[in-house]
Structure 1
Amino acid sequence: MAAASVQSLTSGRQPDLALVSENDLPYEQDIQRNPGSTKPWLAYIEYKLQHGTIHEQAYIMERACIQLPRSYKLWKMYLRFRTKHIEKLNAAIFADEYRKVNALFERALILLNKMPRIWEMYLKFLMQQPLVTLTRHTFDRALRALPITQHNRIWALYKPFANSAEGLTAVKIWRRYMQVRPEDAEDFIELLVQVGLYTEAVKKYIDILNNPRFQSQNGKGHYELWSEMVDLLVEHAVEIETGHETGIDVERIIRSGIERFPDQKGKLWCGLATYWIRRGSFERARDVFEEGITTVMTVRDFTLIFDNYSEFEESIISALMEMATARAEKGEVDEAADFDLDIRIARFEHLMDRRPFLLNDVLLRQNPNNVTEWEKRVVLWGDNKEQIVQTYTDAIAAIKPKQAVGAFHQLWANYAKFYERGGDIRNARVIMEKAVKVPFKAVAELADMWIEWAELELRNENFDEAVKIMAKAVQAPKRSTVDYFDETLSPQQRVHKSWKLWSFYVDLVESVSTLEETKKVYERIFELRIATPQTVVNYANMLEERHYYEESFKIYERGLDLFSYPVAFELWNLYLTKAVDRKISIERLRDLFEQAVEDCPPKFAKVIYLMYGNLEEERGLARHAMRIYERATRAVSDEDRADMFNFYITKSASNFGLPSTRPIYERAIAALPDNEARDMCLKFADMEKRLGEIDRARAIFGHASQYCDPRTNPDFWSKWEQFEVQHGNEDTFKEMLRIKRSVQAQYNTDVSFIASQALARSRQQQQQQQQQQMEEGGGEGEVDQEVVDAMELLERQARAPAGFVASSEGIKGSVHTQAVEVVNPDAIDLDDMDE
């Protein structure tokens, strides 16, 4: 576009005829008729965009914007046209062309400075040019010109520009942006760290952490942000400015985190120590490590701090040793440096020696009531008596008896044993005297404590003193109504009902005192109603050993009054055994046995009845024993009844002969369940056979057959068959077979099911044979005939009697024969049967 044409347009002269053709006259006339309207200009521009040259198009747009300088639509069209024309040109090489367009934008913004779209176009165009300062100033002008509601559109371009600019320029821009969008502080902090402004980054972290309304755009929690700040403080400890001027107190910040985040104490203590190490304050770092390992509450935190502490000491020692080696190579001597190295080595060795104690401290801080850890601490001190005593003292002061974890009484006992091993019995007694007054968690602990005191005296051969201690321990009112399990009472109020305590007391008195004293203790146990079956047995055995047999029997009787079954069974067993061995009068023994079986449950009756019967056999009458065994068969449990009948039968046969057992067998068969009655019948039949009573044995077999299904009890029918073969005839054998069929029919209640199963098996067999025949090339009719023949053979074999042959042939064992003709299923003609 020529400068002359622009001058003519701006001076109001006629249009340049070189750029206006005859075809443009209609549009020129429309412009003249409507000078204040944009429509003729838009139509004119549209026409030129299709038929005009670039110069003509620019000329018309320039005239339109001069004619209507406030038209947003015309300016936007013109500016887009000019920017598109040079967008592919290099901004550095064609800087003049870009400046012309920049000037055009400036002209447009004179009257359209409230249009954000014009500003956006201008700013995007400037960002393509290497004009950082001009672009930044233009962004600032846009922010000043536009209302605040439109600023987000400018900042959407300004932020990428700032990030591309980098350095302090980016920081300055972001500082302004933070005033508008403080929620994007994390991105600002990231920029500050990249630039190296660590102090300002920490301040920004402090601002967002102190703002409870701040929400992380990246989904980070409060601790995560706080942890990032601490990491920044530690990593750049030297670069970050601290003090009152900046308001950054690193140690106070990290210590506040230690209080607020207890699960991260180990990491934070190590972070604080690392901060001082990087600042060069090694002594302060060592103090921090020491404070950390003596205050943390978990083994994990302790291990983390201790490992870092030991690595720190090792690194210092390594550095000093390298320096000492270098000096030695040069021949230099520095006694102060060598002494410092020796001190640090000794300090490191002391640290490693302290590790078990420090770890024990951690566990005790977790739970000062942990008795086991206190015991471990005592062991750690080895032979250091002063520290051992101090540890026991601290443990007793720290542990709450009701919350103790472990055997608290054992700690007291070990404390006393420590003095005992040193020969100081007086202090050991003082400790024991204090220990029995401790309100332990359970009565058993207090009882153990009294026993430990008595054993202390016994080890030092003070037997009388031990008895006095136990007498004091079990001291109680004449009639005590205290419940041993009443948790509302203290252990001291309930300890006199501890069986463990009385058991030790009575053993002690029995060992060192007279019989009368021992009997008093036992009687006191019975008075307090804390006697156990073991107490009864021990008391009776003691009297028996001293030949007080009648008194021992009375003790058993007292025990039987106290205890019911099943405990009473064990006492009766011992009592009756000892009474029988003592050979007291038979009448008295019978009375005892009658008492024993009177209320005896069936489960325990068998043993007592057998003892009773054996007594009668040895010292009484055999018929009395038989009556007892007969009573036993009714009194014992179902599981023992069959054994009892067998025993009864055996005894009756040995005393009165086999015929005397018949009524016993009959009653056994009637009383026992089917499976046991069957076995009893077989024994009964065998006995009758031995007596030669074949008919009676056959009748017994017939009676027992009702319990025996031929399919599930083939042994019974086999034995009956053998019996008939040996002792029967044709009629008896046929009768046996008839009974067998009758019983089988009785048990065969599901005929349709059995038939369907047989048919299914035959069909399956037929299909298999057909398949095999087809594979071999055989005929189908032959297979059918074979199946039919096989089924008929199986049916005939099922109807044929087993184990019986014609008399002319004799008995040849169990031979299966085929029935050729059956006239009546209830009568078998043996003449028609052949082998």
Structure 2
Amino acid sequence: MIMDASSIIIEADDVQYEEELLRNPFSVKHWQRYIEHKKDAAPEKLNIIYERALLQMPGSYKLWHLYLRLRMEQVKGRCVTDPEFESVNNTFERALVFMHKMPRIWIDYCRFLMNQRKITRTRKTFDRALCALPITQHNRIWPLYLKFVMLYNIPETAVRVWRRYLKLCPEDTEDYISYLMSIGRLEEAAKRYEWCVNTDSFTSKYGKSKHQLWSELCELISKNPQETSLKNAEAIIRHGLQRYTDQVGMLWNSLAEYYIISALFERARDVYEEGLRSVMTVRDFTQVFDAYAQFEELTLKKRMEEVGIEVDVEEETELELRLARYEDLMQRRPLLLNSVMLRQNPHNVLEWQKRVTLYEGKPKMIVATYMEAVKTIDPKQATGKLFSLWVNFAKFYEENNQIVDARIIFERATEVLYVKVDDLASVWCEWAEMEIRHGNEEEALKLMKRATAPPPQKVAYNDESEPVQRRVYKSLKLWSMYADLEECLGTFKSCKAVYDRIIDLRIATPQIIINYGMFLQENSYFEEAFKAYEKGISLFKWPYVYDIWNTYLTKFLERYKGTKIERARDLFEQCLEKCPPNYARNLFLLYAKMEEEHGLARHAMQVYSRATKAVPPEEKLSIYNIYLQHAQQIYGVTKTREIYQEAIDDLPDEGCREMCLRFAEMERKLGEIDRAREIYAYCSQICDPRITPEFWAKWTDFEVAHGNEDTMKELLRIKRSMQAKYNTQVNMMSAQMLASAGSVAGTVSDLAPGAKDGMRMLEARAVAMNKEEQMSTSVAPSAAGGSKIMFVRGSTTKRDDEIPLLLPLRHLLPPIIVEE
């Protein structure tokens, strides 16, 4: 705007401002006060003031900024064809002469041009801004520039602008890719995806991993092969197969889909087949196989729809071929899955066996599979029993009557460096069994002799550093089979030598010792058999030696019966010296049986008595029953009284009750009613009426049959006493529980009145029951004459109420005293 001095009209109110400006023409503050004074004046007048101010201070950013905002406000709402817009544009241009380093002026100017829809001029202005501003301020221009180029349908311009921008900010490549996909430029998008994936320094602003970007790239390529038309599309996906091993199935399907959409169906089949042959996990295999099966099914269905009902010979052949291809794929699934498992672990013996089973009916494939398996599996990494694979391989030749080839396989199997000695021993045993099946017993013996031959230098059986071939000579499995073969096919001398060798190698088990002894006895070498048993006894400790002792003693008694009674006693004593309680029962019974049949009855009773102390508590009752039975048979009923008394003292409460009842019944049958009554009274001290009502019922029946009014009263008195005693125990436990509860909640004095009364009642009841129990501590002796049983306290100084209630009552009673 060119100002004319005549056009400046100064009003009276403006004089003071004009005077100030004459004195200070370069003061922004004075010009702002003047502008503030004229803010309600006509726009032309206000613009003149701004022009005068900028004429004086053209480098003032503040004045230019306020002036430009004012000019844009003045044209707001007008048509963009109004000449005033161009006047504002010129003002911006004049301002940029001085303000070309101010990004805000450029941004306002570009936004003002965007509102005018001046596309070319706006683009050039943005370019001028980028050229004028330092690069550190470009980040303020680019967002608006990108918004501008994407606002209109000018894809080529937008792409070029984006490319320039990405040189400055490559981290926004994903936004560029989104824009490219929105305008259909997929090839450029695929290239940018490829750059993102291959550039290690690139980091997604949206937090996507390299794998996610790769997946998006593969999906873009596979679904849009014509649009992307990358020459290295297959190479890109295959590179992903090597790089992202956890998504192999998806990538194979993407590559196949790329060829399917490209109408290259045979190439897609090749990709599927290659994928099935290379995947390493069942999940990836399932993904690829399902996609492959779906592809074959859809192509078959599509072809059938195209052909229709009437088909010629050529079309029918094609349909049959497609159907056969689909059926073959479904039939190959178990074999393909087995291949996946073997690729995961090529040393898995079980999977190789499954593969052989899948080739059933195809001998050549079975042999090839076995050969590949034995070449592939590393014995040290094998999972499963490797020797079984070799054995089955040999058995396959044996089943096809190729014994010579089976022997070759077994020979090679014995040279494999197995991890365990037992595996090699199993191979030797299977080889020997094959020879036996075909009638080559001598060859089987030679094999066993060869397998058990010691190495030139002795090695430790557990030395893992030595190969199994040098340690197999100590395998018990080999020696056991060798001994069995010698027993069946060899001589007595050779078989005995084998057993002796087993014992010398110190690999014998109790069963081997027993078998050796039985073999010697069958050949009438009894003393040799007993020596073998004694060798076994010296080799093993309890409890492993139990079976040897049992067999030794049984066979010794069968052989000599009562002719060598002292030697038999020595053997039994030697056996029982260190015998654990759990194994003592049968040995004591065998000892007692020998004494009854060939020795002295007194000795037999001593053995039974010792047995009652040697066996575990849960077996004592059965031993006492046997003891009583044999004592009654040998000495009569009266001799059993001592045994009954001993059993009552020794057995726990449950067994003690049973013995008391039986003892009382025996006395009743003998007519000793008073003795029986005393036994009932003794037993009552361990019988809680609430728990053992059957005992009190039997005593009541006894008194009804044999007692009188006094004895019945005594029974009732004792029963009440026992009820009070056991109730006292329960009440004391309750009192202790209440006391412990009171210690947590507060003392008794802190309880409520009802709670205090309850405590006093419990205490009073406990004292009363305790007094009643003290009055009934002794059992009155029988008034009848004759022999009787008396129960007397063990200590006369200790009161009954001082006896601990937590101990079983039976342990507080003295033994039964018998008076003749």
TM over 0.5, shorter chain:
yes
Q: Could you tell me which amino acid in structure 2 is paired with residue 454 of structure 1?
A: A
664-673 vs 521-530, which deviates more? 664-673
For the 8 Å contact 1:324–1:338, the answer to whether it is kept is no
The question of 1:486 aligning with 2:463 is answered yes
The question of 1:77 aligning with 2:66 is answered yes
Q: Could you tell me which amino acid in structure 1 is paired with residue 234 of structure 2?
A: E
The question of 1:160 aligning with 2:138 is answered no
The question of 1:298 aligning with 2:281 is answered yes
For the 8 Å contact 1:61–1:78, the answer to whether it is kept is yes
Deviation at 1:634, TM superposition (A): 3.2
With the length of structure 2 as denominator, give the TM-score of the two structures. Answer: 0.80
For the 8 Å contact 1:706–1:743, the answer to whether it is kept is no
Correspondence 1:506-525 to 2 at 5 A: 506-525=483-502
For the 8 Å contact 1:234–1:271, the answer to whether it is kept is yes
For the 8 Å contact 1:392–1:415, the answer to whether it is kept is yes
Q: C-alpha offsets along residues 479-526 of structure 1, whole Å, 9 cap, x if unaligned?
A: x96543332222222222222222222223333334444333333322
2:6 pairs with one of 13, 27, 36: 13
719-728 vs 480-489, which deviates more? 719-728
1:44 corresponds to? 34
- Name structure 1 gaps, 5 residues minimum: 1-5, 244-248, 760-783, 803-835
CA 1:287–1:699: 2 relative to 1, 3 Å? closer
CA 1:183–1:530: 2 relative to 1, 3 Å? same
C-alpha distance in 1 between matches for 2:479 and 2:294:
59
Q: Could you tell me which amino acid in structure 2 is paired with residue 443 of structure 1?
A: V
1:205 pairs with one of 193, 210, 218: 193
C-alpha distance in 1 between matches for 2:737 and 2:347:
75
**DSSP 3-state at the match of 1:13:** helix
2:357 corresponds to? 379
1:181 corresponds to? 169
Deviation at 1:235, TM superposition (A): 3.1
Q: Could you tell me which amino acid in structure 2 is paired with residue 222 of structure 1?
A: K
1:613 pairs with one of 569, 585, 592: 592
For the 8 Å contact 1:185–1:204, the answer to whether it is kept is yes
1:121 corresponds to? 108
2:636 pairs with one of 646, 649, 657: 657
CA 1:285–1:661: 2 relative to 1, 3 Å? closer
Correspondence 1:17-28 to 2 at 5 A: 21-28=11-18
Deviation at 1:218, TM superposition (A): 0.9
1:232 corresponds to? 220
Percent identity reads 45
With the length of structure 1 as denominator, give the TM-score of the two structures. Answer: 0.79
C-alpha distance in 2 between matches for 1:334 and 1:107:
86
Question: Comparing both chains, which one has the higher relative contact order based on Cα–Cα distances under 8 Å and sequence gaps of 6 or more?
Answer: 2
1:631 pairs with one of 610, 613, 622: 610
1:151 corresponds to? 138
When the two chains are superposed, the root-mean-square deviation of aligned CA atoms in Å is 4.3
CA 1:528–1:198: 2 relative to 1, 3 Å? same
C-alpha distance in 2 between matches for 1:715 and 1:311:
79
C-alpha distance in 1 between matches for 2:291 and 2:389:
35
C-alpha distance in 2 between matches for 1:56 and 1:712:
120
The question of 1:443 aligning with 2:421 is answered yes
Q: Could you tell me which amino acid in structure 2 is paired with residue 473 of structure 1?
A: A
Q: Could you tell me which amino acid in structure 2 is paired with residue 626 of structure 1?
A: M
C-alpha distance in 2 between matches for 1:623 and 1:560:
29
The question of 1:414 aligning with 2:414 is answered no
Deviation at 1:449, TM superposition (A): 0.9
C-alpha distance in 1 between matches for 2:699 and 2:500:
67
C-alpha distance in 2 between matches for 1:24 and 1:83:
26
C-alpha distance in 2 between matches for 1:379 and 1:358:
14
Deviation at 1:722, TM superposition (A): 7.0
**DSSP 3-state at the match of 2:360:** coil
C-alpha distance in 2 between matches for 1:223 and 1:522:
68
C-alpha distance in 1 between matches for 2:404 and 2:52:
122
For the 8 Å contact 1:709–1:744, the answer to whether it is kept is no
Correspondence 1:328-727 to 2 at 5 A: 351-352=329-330, 354-476=332-454, 482-545=459-522, 551-582=528-559, 584-588=561-565, 589-673=568-652, 676-677=655-656, 679-693=658-672, 696-697=675-676, 700=679, 726-727=706-707
Q: C-alpha offsets along residues 501-559 of structure 1, whole Å, 9 cap, x if unaligned?
A: 22222223333334444333333322322222222333334444555555544444443
The count of aligned residue pairs is 753
C-alpha distance in 2 between matches for 1:375 and 1:82:
91
C-alpha distance in 2 between matches for 1:164 and 1:739:
108
Q: Could you tell me which amino acid in structure 2 is paired with residue 576 of structure 1?
A: L
C-alpha distance in 2 between matches for 1:74 and 1:757:
95
Deviation at 1:151, TM superposition (A): 2.0
Q: Could you tell me which amino acid in structure 1 is paired with residue 548 of structure 2?
A: L
1:251 corresponds to? 234
Structure number with larger C-alpha Rg: 1
1:195 corresponds to? 183
Q: Could you tell me which amino acid in structure 2 is paired with residue 133 of structure 1?
A: T
- Name structure 2 gaps, 5 residues minimum: 740-756, 777-820
C-alpha distance in 2 between matches for 1:291 and 1:739:
92
For the 8 Å contact 2:685–2:722, the answer to whether it is kept is no
CA 1:395–1:739: 2 relative to 1, 3 Å? closer
**DSSP 3-state at the match of 2:141:** helix
The question of 1:273 aligning with 2:256 is answered yes
Deviation at 1:174, TM superposition (A): 1.5
**DSSP 3-state at the match of 1:156:** helix
CA 1:631–1:148: 2 relative to 1, 3 Å? closer
